[in-house]
């Protein structure tokens, strides 16, 4: 978690699969973007995951989110797969 003026500005959460793989979810408040907070929090999360014995990490980013894609590359992550999202309007 990264704080700016005492308030949460960014976070990275790690989800472990019970073994040696983890998934990382990162979020940054819109007003705090461009300050490399995603890199900071993700690097910290990856360091803690490695210290806990994890050997492989998976992250997911939207293909058009160039800032997070750049952050992933700066941390040594590389593309491994592509996916699709599906949406449906729900009615009551």
Per-residue pLDDT tens digits for 34-82: 899 989 999 998 898 899 888 888 888 777 888 888 888 888 988 888 7
Give the Cα separation of 22 and 90 in Å (integer). Answer: 32
Per residue in 8-19, pLDDT tens? 999 998 888 887
- Distance in angstroms between the alpha carbons of the first and the last residue of the chain: 37
Tokens 């705090």 belong to: 32
Give the Cα separation of 20 and 16 in Å (integer). Answer: 8
Does this model's pTM top 0.85?
Answer: no
At 29, is the pLDDT very low, low, confident or very high (cuts 50, 70, 90)? Answer: very high
Q: Between residues 5 and 79, which one has the greater pLDDT?
A: 5
2-74 CATH: 3.40.630.30
Give the Cα separation of 45 and 6 in Å (integer). Answer: 20
């Amino acid at each position: 978690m990264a704080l700016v003026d005492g308030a949460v500005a960014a976070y990275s959460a790690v989800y472990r699969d019970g073994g040696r793989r983890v998934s990382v979810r990162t979020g940054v408040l819109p007003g705090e973007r461009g300050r490399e907070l995603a890199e900071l929090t993700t690097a910290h999360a990856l360091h803690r995951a490695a210290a806990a014995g994890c050997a492989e990490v998976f992250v997911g980013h939207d293909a058009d989110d160039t800032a997070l894609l750049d952050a992933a590359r700066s941390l040594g992550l590389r593309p491994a797969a592509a996916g699709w999202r599906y949406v449906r309007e729900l009615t009551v």
